[in-house]
Chain A
Amino acid sequence: MTQYIEFGGAVFVVGETVDERFEEFQELVEEYGLSTFVSFIMFKHFAHSSLDGLNNNEKEILIDECQPLICEALIQGRAM
């Protein structure tokens, strides 16, 4: 079960380290089938769409940039 907190219209994945948070983030992406749109966001910010080899800073940026997408998926998911 993915660990996250919703607060003030944003979603925060829970984890002590960047890698833990990134793992939770990836689980959410997988659970909601958002990989295509995450790839859009990666392509915009990193000019590629591979999750392999991201450094900690890039992982943090990606988690942050995907906030609107994840929030929308959670809201729609709850309404089903």
Chain B
Amino acid sequence: MGTTCTPFKISDLEQTQVNEKARFFYNMWRRQTKTGACDFQEFVPFSPDLIVLGKPKPANPMANLVFSGDDTIGARLFGQNLEKTSAQVYAKLEPGTLKDYSETVSVAQNESFESCEPVFDYISSEFGSQTLAYERLLLPFKTKAGPVFLVGYSMPVSVPSF
């Protein structure tokens, strides 16, 4: 089955069954973006739950990871400081699976990066006999000098143990 990505509408975040924190992050992002602010300091206290991504690199899933909070799925799976340990992470995963996963999750990353619009979707991927599944919210942050970063918040549905 490999990896699948099921897009949701951003308006789905308004539904009550959606993770409250995701809705909170989206509303905070929308409020800041509406005012044209480039300063998102309000997010700082919540950074343990967040990742920050640069321009997507489909051939390498973590090459664009510039920050990973300590409470993210990635940190739970592969340890803290994931942004510095990607080489060890690759060694644990089967290369074909990794490529498939990376290419799939990068599509929406790329769309968000190019359009500067948020993305809300559901990712499911099989790693051997285990399934990694999560809902993902990507919020694009355009810095005042122009570079764009994606702030990601993932809500785990199924997390394997490697």
A26 at the binding interface (Cβ < 8 Å): no
Chain A residues contacting B17 (CB-CB under 8 Å) are: none
B96 at the interface (CB under 8 A from A): no
B143 touches A73 (CB 8 A): yes
Which residues 35-86 of B have a CB within 8 angstroms of A? Answer: 38-41, 43-45, 47-48, 50, 52, 54-55, 64-67, 69-70, 83-84
List 6 additional A-B contacts (Cβ < 8 Å) besides A33-B144, A80-B146: A40-B47, A40-B50, A40-B52, A68-B65, A68-B66, A77-B146
- Are A75 and B52 within 8 A (Cβ)? no
State the total of A-B contacts with C-beta under 8 angstroms: 73
Q: Is A57 in contact with chain B by the CB < 8 A criterion? A: no
Q: Is A35 an interface residue (CB 8 A)?
A: yes
**CB-based contact A76/B55 at 8 Å:** yes
In the complex where A39-B44, A44-B47 touch, is A69 in contact with B67 (Cβ < 8 A)?
yes
Task: Tell me if B47 and A72 are in contact (CB < 8 A).
Answer: no
CB of B69 within 8 A of CB of A32, answer no
- Complex partner residue of A32 from B47, B50, B141, B143, CB under 8 angstroms: B143
